[in-house]
Structure 1
């Protein structure tokens, strides 16, 4: 009798263990895993920390429910090919520069002109909802644009010629990003497109006489301070990092998981405000130590610089969105 009891008790323990293991496996299977690819790898690019921070927030807030798995950056797919791959469901989550979406979502980077502290106002704001609809029409779930305070982490012109006004850019050869080419062309300069890896040699050889770059994003890690004389201390646009999802994947998630992702991006947007300010100051200190001069222009020229930058970009958006929709965005920027 005791042998049978012992056997029964032992069998019950085994059965309980199997049931527990099964419960653990089922629990793991219930956790949604989202594959994430970014334009740049964390560690080298401060802007990539936007994607990393979002992943960490999701994994903390969504424990047992949802997790983000980082797959890679340009080692997986060239950055400019990544947005289309996201639309096609090759992976689930993406981070990179907002202007990378310009070819797929017309106006998808319009928050570069936003005067708000958080460029899109954050989840739940009218502007955020507007951006979400803009992206959804192209098969993308917009999650957010994270940047520094207006003026921090923005785009700047750096050069090997003295600059006191916008007029001094006229006729110069300047390397541009897709976003800044409108300003450069409006200033009468020649815009030249080059990947970041080619800027050093182009400046060193005089192939270009200046370039645009969001200084907070690893300016000195490329060594540009050793081949560049000046940075004109007048910020343009917002820069920062954008996070987006494949729309079908988003729609497949439960409302609870969707809410976790929205809370995670809101935390990332708050993180970015101080993060870009910190990196801006660090980069400028290294630039000065290397002998670069951070040039201050007059208040009058600062206003003019900003006017030319903003007017040229608004004019571009009118060609892609139409005046009526541009007016809608302007009203949202004004909180109307």
Structure 2
């Protein structure tokens, strides 16, 4: 063999060995695309962008091995069919709010918001450390879903009305958009509550199909432009004191993932649960100022008499929901115990501090 040929052949052999030892392309290593469907309009501030941020975070944290592609409401399935799409495997995960699934079980309401229920921090305490997650897992497993907290709006506003609300009689026959158990409370006091996905609210309010609506809070309400068709903006929102947004992953998909991939998804949703609450709290104040001072929205506070009557009706509705089935009763018992403890602690912590901060003294 000639020397030149030998060297060339050897070099080629060494290059071949080196090439075989290099990492294979990601697609050959099991790169996987997961479809996330949402109940939110595309790129909607907070709700839609929070879902996108969670999807992007999973993709980035997994170094692209899990590529989450987001489909807004109506792009793959209608908003309220997101849960079924994940349950039956049409999609891999959803981002929404659990009270949209109360037709499956009233227990789902407790993992989003119930009237006069838990605030965002109290909900986190219950789900993360009070047994809530275990109950949620048990409930959702019946529908082949693994659930997670994936955001929070904080305390919501009472809603937009085309007339003043001075007493319970003003709710009689009022056509108002309010989902979940909050809607059932309003029906109990005489209102005609309906559940509509976000994209249908403005045209329904504009056409007169509904007389009032709640949505989220100043940031999202400004984006939807409700001030263009009604001016009375009420607070506080009894129905959603700290609304948890959620994601559910198809259980077969979840079980097929490695422990590392499961950890990435778990932590990505936990991060978004914190970040989205911070974003809502940061943006609501400026948005409220814009609504009042630029768009001349009339801000009103529900009277104590109205809130007390709604509170009584709320307690009855939540208790009635618990009587529906054994699983809901188990969730209800755990939730009520957490609520009792939270009220006792917040009375001498957060609530006491907030009251003290409102005292008349010079600061700064």
Equivalent residue for 1:170, pick from 165, 169, 172: 172
Please identify, of 85-94 and 24-33, the stretch whose mean Cα deviation from structure 2 is larger.
Answer: 24-33
CA distance in 2, matches of 1:219, 1:89: 33
Q: How does 1:99-110 map to 2 (within 5 A)?
A: 99-110=99-110
Alignment partner, residue 91 of structure 1: 91
Return closer, same or farther for 1:118/1:41 CA change in 2, 3 Å cut-off. farther
Deviation (angstroms), 1:303: 4.2
Contact 2:34 2:93 in 1 (8 A): yes
Higher mean alpha-carbon deviation, 236-245 vs 121-130, is at 121-130
1:294 aligned counterpart, secondary structure:
strand
Which residue does the alignment assign to 1:276?
A: 280
TM-score scaled to structure 1, two decimals?
A: 0.85
CA offset at residue 14 of structure 1? Answer: 4.4
Deviations 1:172-207 (A, max 9, x none): 232333443212112212224545445444434544
CA distance in 2, matches of 1:174, 1:186: 13
Superposed CA RMSD in Å reads 2.9
- Partner of residue 317 from structure 2, selected from 306, 312, 315: 312
Q: Distance in 1 between matches of 2:82 and 2:41?
A: 14
Change (3 A) 1:195 1:59: closer
Quote the Cα distance in structure 2 between the aligned partners of 1:276 and 1:298.
25
2:252 aligned partner? 248
TM-score for the superposition, normalised by structure 2 = 0.79
Asked whether the 8 Å contact 1:182–1:312 carries over to 2, the reply is yes
SS in 2 for 1:242: strand
TM-aligned CA deviation for residue 10 of structure 1: 3.2
- Is residue 131–residue 334 contact of structure 2 (8 Å, CA) maintained in 1? no
Q: 2:172, 2:189 within 8 Å by CA — same for their partners in 1?
A: yes
More displaced stretch, 207-216 vs 228-237 = 207-216
Alignment of 1:67-78 (within 5 A): 67-78=67-78
Report the counterpart of residue 24 of structure 1 in structure 2: 24
Matches of 2:95 and 2:216, distance apart in 1: 16
Q: 1:147 to 1:298 in 2, by over 3 A?
A: same
- Is residue 220 from structure 1 mapped to residue 222 from structure 2 by the alignment? yes
State the match for 2:188 in structure 1.
Answer: 186
1:147 maps to which residue? 152
Q: CA deviation at 1:69?
A: 2.8
Which residue of 2 is the match for residue 115 of structure 1?
Answer: 118
- Tell me the CA shift for residue 306 of structure 1: 3.9
Distance apart, 1:77 and its partner CA: 0.9
Residue 270 of structure 2 corresponds to which residue in structure 1? 266
Q: Give, in whole Å, the separation in 2 of the partners of 1:35 and 1:323.
A: 33
Flag structure 2 segments of 5+ consecutive residues without an equivalent: 343-364
Deviation (angstroms), 1:227: 0.9
Question: How far is the alpha carbon of 1:283 from its aligned partner?
Answer: 3.7
Q: Distance in 1 between matches of 2:236 and 2:65?
A: 45
Structure 2 counterpart of 1:327: 333
Q: CA 1:155 to 1:310, structure 2 compared with 1: closer, same or farther past 3 Å? A: farther
Give the number of the structure whose residues are more often helix, by fraction. 2
Q: 135-144 or 219-228, which moves further after superposition?
A: 219-228
